[in-house]
Amino acid sequence: LLPPGPKPWPLIGNILDMPTVRPWETYRAWCKQYESDVIYVNIPTQPTIILGSVKAAIGLLEKRSEIYSGRSVPMMLELMGWDFNFGFMTYTPRWRAHRRMFHQLFHSGVVERYRPVQLSEARKFLSWILISPEHTRKHVRLMLTSIILELAFGRKITGLDDEYVHIAEVAGEALNVSIIPGAFWVEYFPWLKYVPSWVPGNLSMKTVERYKPYVALTRNKAFDQVQAAMEEGNPPACLATELLEENRAKYAGTPAHAAFDEVAKNIISVAYHVAADTTTSSCEAFLVAMAMYPDIQRKAQAELDRIVGPDRLPEFDDLPHMPYLRAVVMETGRWMPVVPFGLPHRVIQEDTYNGYRIPEGTMIIPNAWSMLHDPETYPEPERFHPDRFLNADGTINTNVRDPATIAFGFGRRICPGRHFSDNALSIFIASVLHVFEITPGFDKAGRPVKLSSEIVGGLVSTPENVPCGLKPRSEQAAQLIRKDGAESK
C-alpha cells in the first residue's frame, strides 16, 4: 500500500497537481487533507513522497540514512551543467570524495578561521549603510559575496557590478528556478530536450540556454585564475590555493592528482555560489523581523548594551554571553526558512514506513517550512518570538527543538556549510543591532516599505521586501561605525 495522496489522472498521474508557487503550502495542505505526514504523489517518471513532520523526516532521512541519502538530479540541472555540484550527486564514492574535501574546509572545528573576514565584512556593511541605507538589500548581498570570494579565491571586490558577483547571482537564480519539482516539463518528458529552444512553448530548453553559460563560469572562471597564478608562482592566499597545494604535495606525479584537483575545483565553486545566496536570505529575514517587531529589537539591543557597551563594536567572543541574541538567530532560521522544502533526497532501495510501501528511486521532499511552523513545537508559529527558546532565567531552553536541526536538512546530507553560515549570520545580527535602529523605511515612491513574513522563490527563498530604514541609534554609534570604517581601510 502506497502512502495517501492526491488522486492521479491516467497517464499523467499528478503532474498537474504539483504546485510551482509556494509549494510548501500545498504540501502542508495535502498532509492535512489526507491526514498523514507521509504523502505520495504519482509522477510518471519520478514517484515522489512528501514528509510533513520532523518525526517522519528523522525516522527516514536520519535513522535510515544508509538508503535515504541519494538524490534525484532534476533533468534541468543536468542540462545546465550542474553535475559538478555535489549537492546534486547521488550517493556514490564520487559524492563522498567531494563531501569529504568540503567538510575539511567547513566543519565546526575549522570555521573559526574565517571569523576575521566575516567580522570585517560585517563592519564594512555598517559603514555602507551609514552612507546609503536605501540600498540595504544590495549591501547585504555585497557583504556575503565579498566574504566567500575573498576566502575562496582571494579576490577583493568593491561593488555589486563586479562580474564575479553577477555570475554567482545568475547561477543561483538558475538553480532556484529549475529545482522546484514540477516546474519544467522536460522532467516528465525527457525527449523535450531534443526539441530546439526556438520552438514555441519549449520553456525548458529556453531556460537551459539562458543559464548554461553562467553555470560554466561559476565553475571555471575564478578557479582557473588561481590555478594559472599558481603555475606562475604567485597564487593568492585562499582556500583554492590551499587545496591545490595540498593535492600537489600528496599526489604530484600520480594519476590521482588531476582527479583531486577536479574535486577541489568543484567544491570551491559550490561554496562560491551557495554560500552567498543562502546566508544573504537569512540576513534579510532578520532585518524584516526586526522592522516588524520593534520590541524584540529593543530587547536584543538591551542585551548588547549590557554585554558590549557603547564604546566598541561586538566581537565573536561576545556571542556566547548573549543568549537573547542567540534566540534571535534561532528564530530567524525558523520564522522564514531559507530552504523551505529542503533539498529532496532519494531512496535507493524499496522500504516500508508505518505500513506504507516506499518504492525504490522515490524522491523524498522534507517540507521544512511546515515542520518549522508546526504549532505544537512552536506555538503561534507566524509570530517572531525568540523567547520561545528561552528559560525563565534567560538561558537557552534545550527542550525546544533547535530549528537548525530542520532548516539545514537531515542525515548524511545535512548542510555542510551550516557552521560557517551560523557565524556569518550571528556576527551580522550583533553588529547591526548594536548600532542601528531598524525601521521599514520608504520605497522609491516615498511609501513605507511593505513587510511580511511571506517568502518568495524556490530552492532558496527570500523575503519579498527588505527594510531600508536603518538609522544609527545615537551619534556615538555613528562615530563607532566611522572609526571602524576608517581603521579597516
Using CB under 6 A, list all residues that contact ligand HEM. 86-87, 99, 102, 106, 270-271, 274-275, 278-279, 282, 338-339, 342-343, 345, 407-410, 413-417, 420-421
Complex with ligand HEM: residue 229 or 343, whichever CB lies closer: 343
Complex with ligand HEM: residue 416 or 472, whichever CB lies closer: 416
Complex with ligand HEM: residue 114 or 473, whichever CB lies closer: 114
Question: Cell for 340?
Answer: 523551505
Complex with ligand HEM: residue 126 or 274, whichever CB lies closer: 274
Least distance CB 224 / ligand HEM (angstroms): 21
Complex with ligand HEM: residue 208 or 271, whichever CB lies closer: 271
Complex with ligand HEM: residue 99 or 139, whichever CB lies closer: 99
Query: What does the H/E/C string look like for the chain?
Result: CCCCCCCCECCCECHHHCCCCCHHHHHHHHHHHCCCCEEEECCCCCCEEEECCHHHHHHHHHCCHHHHCECCCCHHHHHHCHHHCHHHCCCCHHHHHHHHHHHHHHCCCCHHHHHHHHHHHHHHHHHHHHHCHHHHHHHHHHHHHHHHHHHHHCCCCCCCCCHHHHHHHHHHHHHHHHCCCCCCHHHCCHHHHHCCCCCCCCHHHHHHHHHHHHHHHHHHHHHHHHHHHHHCCCCCCCHHHHHHHHHHHHHCCCCHHHHHHHHHHHHHHHHHHHHHHHHHHHHHHHHHHHHHCHHHHHHHHHHHHHHCCCCCCCCHHHHHHCHHHHHHHHHHHHHCCCCCCCCCEECCCCEEECCEEECCCCEEEECHHHHHCCCCCCCCCCCCCHHHHECCCCCECCCCCCCHHHHCCCHHHCCCCHHHHHHHHHHHHHHHHHHEEEECCECCCCCECCCCCCEEECCCEEECCCCCEEEECCHHHHHHHHHHHHHHC
Least distance CB 425 / ligand HEM (angstroms): 7
Least distance CB 172 / ligand HEM (angstroms): 12
Least distance CB 160 / ligand HEM (angstroms): 19
Complex with ligand HEM: residue 22 or 345, whichever CB lies closer: 345
Least distance CB 275 / ligand HEM (angstroms): 4
Least distance CB 81 / ligand HEM (angstroms): 17
Least distance CB 267 / ligand HEM (angstroms): 7
Least distance CB 416 / ligand HEM (angstroms): 5
Complex with ligand HEM: residue 230 or 343, whichever CB lies closer: 343
Least distance CB 282 / ligand HEM (angstroms): 4
Complex with ligand HEM: residue 421 or 465, whichever CB lies closer: 421
